[in-house]
Structure 1
Amino acid sequence: MLKANPRVLLVNDDGIDGPGLVMLEKIVRTFTDDVWVVAPDEERSGAGHSLATTLPIRVRQRDERHFAIKGTPTDCALLGIYELIEGKKPDILISGINRGPNLAEDITYSGTAAAAMEGALLGIPAIALSQYFRPPAPVQWDTAEKYAGEVIEKLLKLEWTPGLFVNVNFPGCPADEVTGMRVTTQGQRPPGAFIPERRVDVRHFPYYWIKIMLPEGGHAPGNDLQAMLDKEVSITPMQLDMTCRPAIPALEKLFG
């Protein structure tokens, strides 16, 4: 359980001016005044858990507690925790609110989730927040706005264990249609969520966009994908240990 008036580090992957981050800061300030924002200077969606190891990371300080970083969300978490926050480290890291879902295998690509992972790696309780939507439907920011504060305040009471971070997704419906909150497992969609799409420029050279498909399927009782269908807020406990324990006996027969 975290103390009253915790020190909070806010990070995202949509950029420091992203509407979800602006909203999140307002929500967090309702229960603490010790808030620091360290976020990319522009959108870094899909950055995953990447680091800027071959380029210098530039920092632009906007005011005493707001920093725009030319780097990835993970870079932002590292700089916030080690360099930019004065005095003691943050009590909790909150990443988001992402414009779009971070469900199922999205976690492996997500800069939003990666910032929370980095917090967990460094022993800091961490939460990733995302607002589900599918274009051309509008982003239902009112849903995240209504439920994010309640989710965060409850999670502040959690007895955090090492290596834990919590992945939260708000359903893509108006706030008054939300049916509840559900603690979920991570789902897995069928293959084909991201497909290269070939195009040709004016000089007849090919180039590619990665097209986001989000194929239907992978829903199962109790998982995060099903929660979105049921218009529930999905709260998924995640861990850094990715060991596939059921495979150990078979591997031990081969290598033991």
Structure 2
Amino acid sequence: MAGGPRVLLVNDDGIQAEGLALLERQVAEFTDNIWVVAPQHENSGGGHSVSLDKPVRARQLDDRRFAVSGTPTDCVLLAYWELMDERPDIVLSGINHGENLGEDMTYSGTMGAAMEAAILGVPAVALSQKRTLGQKPDFASSEAAAPGLLRGLLDMEWAPGQVVNVNFPVSISDDGRPHVTRLGQRNPGTFTPLGGLDGRNIPYYWVKVRYDPGEQEPDTDLYAVADGRVAVTALSMDLTAPALNDRLRDLLASPATAS
């Protein structure tokens, strides 16, 4: 296939991850202008972190393929400013080995890469495959649903810096149609410290992960994926809380700014 959009692929599970390979195969159906810049090692849970206290190295594996010693955010930065011959038309981050629903996105390296693309003015899509915690993901639903979804997203007219979060269920319900959702919210306690003693009786802690099913309102991403739907959620980099801002303005007698 000649031509097509210039697509940057990145992830947080590492350059050798199965989800990244699947995404690359699917995107190749629509364009031959694919760049892969991904972490050398897994960076799950790294969020939107950037390496500031150590050098970042990019090892070239092929003409448009690089393994980076840093975070997913580092990968986007290096691709955009150093490695690609021109800026990408779109960044696709994933397919992540595990869900990124509700507030998961604040921890997610997959989402961190998409957010960095948005800051740079490049539209981005984060894609994640739900799995049973601790088990290898089954990408059957991603295999089935992603190509049609990608076709629509790659053909869509994007504004600079827009972000979409996509989550594939473990298995797809009968109609298989994507559902446009809002972010749900889990109950507190997804991540909790689990303590123990080492061989010298010095305390240590592992962070235990337990995914609460959370808010099950029909319009949420949590409900959609639990119900076997592909959840598609548009996100904004503007984190302002307008209602709280209005209360603060009244409390502090702050003048209103022009809109």
Q: TM-score, normalised by structure 1?
A: 0.94
Partner of 2:257: none
Contact (CA 8 Å) 1:164, 1:239: kept in 2 or not? Answer: yes
Which residue number in structure 1 is paired with residue 154 of structure 2?
Answer: 156
Whether 1:171 and 2:169 are equivalent positions in the alignment is: yes
Matched, 1:216 2:213: yes
Deviating runs (4+, > 3 A) in structure 1? 175-179
Q: Which residue of 2 aligns with 1:125?
A: 123
Separation of aligned partners in 1, 2:151 and 2:64: 22
Aligned counterpart, 1:237: 234
Change (3 A) 1:121 1:136: closer
Which residue number in structure 1 is paired with residue 23 of structure 2? 24
Which residue does the alignment assign to 2:95? 97
Contact 2:60/2:66, CA 8 A, preserved across alignment: yes
Give 1:149 deviation, angstroms.
1.5
Superposed displacement of residue 63, structure 1 = 1.3
Post-superposition offset of 1:33: 0.7
Q: Percent identity, aligned pairs only?
A: 48
Describe the superposition over 1:146-178 as per-residue Cα deviations: whole angstroms up to 9, x where unpaired: 1111111111232223442000000012x5756
Note if contact 1:180-1:231 (Cα within 8 Å) is conserved in structure 2: no
Could you tell me how far 1:248 is from its partner in structure 2?
1.8
Q: Which runs of 5+ in 2 are unaligned?
A: 255-259
- Structure 1 CA distance, aligned partners of 2:159 and 2:87? 18
Within-5 A mapping of 1:1-256: 5-86=4-85, 88-135=86-133, 139-173=137-171, 175=172, 179-255=176-252, 256=254
> Could you tell me the TM-score, scaled by structure 2's length?
0.93
Distance, in Å, in 2 between the alignment partners of 1:219 and 1:194 is 20
Deviation at 1:135, TM superposition (A): 2.9
Equivalent pair of 1:16/1:39 in contact (CA under 8 Å): yes
For residues 178 and 44 of structure 1, the distance between their equivalents in structure 2, rounded to whole angstroms, comes to: 34
Following the alignment from structure 2 to structure 1, what is the Cα–Cα distance between the partners of residues 66 and 40? 8
Structure 1 residue identity aligned to 2:143: E
Contact 2:165 2:235 survives alignment (8 Å): yes
> What do the CA deviations read for 1:75-101 (whole angstroms, capped 9, x no partner)?
001101111112x21111000000000
Q: Say if 1:74 and 1:138 are closer, same or farther in 2 by CA, change over 3 A.
A: closer
Distance 1:234 1:8 in 2: 22
Matched to 2:144, the amino acid is: K
Paired with 2:245 and 2:173, the residues of 1 have a C-alpha distance of 46
In the TM superposition, residue 28 of structure 1 has moved relative to its aligned partner by 0.7
Moved more, 188-197 or 213-222: 213-222
The AA in structure 2 aligned to 1:180 is R
Contact 1:73 1:114 in 2 (8 A): yes
Describe the shift of the 1:77–1:135 C-alpha distance in structure 2 as closer, same or farther (beyond 3 A).
same
Structure 1 Cα separation of the partners of residues 203 and 58 of structure 2:
35
For 1:167 and 1:240, the matched residues in 2 are separated by 13
Contact 2:173 2:229 in 1 (8 A): no
Question: What is the alpha-carbon distance in structure 2 between the residues aligned to residue 239 and residue 171 of structure 1?
Answer: 23
